Amino acid sequence: MTRIDNDGGVHLQSRHGTRLNEMFPELVFALWEHLPKRTIVDGEIVRWSEAGRLDFGALQRRVGGGNHARHLSIVEPAHLVIFDLLEVDGVDIRTQPLAERRKHLEDLFAGIPAACPLALSMQTNDPVEARLWFTSLAAHGIEGLVIKAAAEPYQPGARSWWKYKSRTSTEAILGGLTGTLARPSGLLLGRYPPKGGQLRVVGRTTRLARDLAAEVAAYLRPAAPAEHPWPEQLPPGWASGLHGKGDPVTYRRVVPELVVEVLVDVARERGQWRHPMRCLRLRLDVSPDAVPRGTRLDAGPAA
């Protein structure tokens, strides 16, 4: 949420109310320069990598940049993607339908240059175009579509919209588990790097269904510490989640010889899937050598 007050002061904050002005000075300047006073917009800060993919890791560096914020704003600039307009020139338009608020927002952006770090979010009411976006933008790290009713007013604190996420199935190697060998509750998964090397952690699963947990347990073999490439505890963020956030993951190491099929989304960071994935089935017909390397998804599922 961003507010430009009566004096032109910019207040850039997260959805939890954290002040972001000092972390993203380039956005503060753009908002001050291009939006009128007494205006409130809703949006999301993003950072694009040089490869044209959303770079969540770089965004986290920006948030934790501290005294380096101004330097980072030059070498790793961010964009504010604006998707809603709540007030403009002091007029509250929250009660207007989304379609009307969108028209006001487009009028506002008509005078903003394309090179500005403020970006107007994509929006369509054409299902064919939406499906094209859904299939083509996943390669750029965009997780899916947000679906909102065109006739709805803005409802603070209420979630009256849907998120339709892009997911695909792929394979990974079982390297550890939480729970017990007899009743694993979740799996720690790995893949080999693209250019060779030891098995690396790429993520973890959500809680296993009872029948699947029993099937996996029948084939598990505990690994001796010297025979396993992973440490006894995984540092925070190594098994899905934010790097450096949360607690270390305590788990049981197993011989990395089993392959499972999982359902993953497109969010990746530091060679790992950022969100926990759902385990679909055990793949006894696939060897670890046949599993795609890295976290690339273009190779598709193993045959």
Q: How many CA atoms lie within 13 A of 261 on its CB side?
A: 14
Q: Is the pLDDT of residue 172 over 80?
A: yes
Task: Find out if CATH 3.30.390.50 is the number for domain 167-290.
Answer: no
The pTM of this model reads: 0.73
Report, as an integer, the average pLDDT of 20-30: 95
Tell me the per-residue pLDDT of 256-275, one tens digit each, with 9 for 90 and over. 999 999 999 878 777 788 88
**What is the reported pLDDT for 160?**
76
Q: Where do the domains of the chain lie?
A: 2-123, 167-290
**What is the reported pLDDT for 280?**
96
CATH code, 2-123: 3.30.470.30
The answer to whether domain 2-123 and domain 167-290 are alike in fold is: no
Q: Give the Cα separation of 205 and 11 in Å (integer).
A: 38
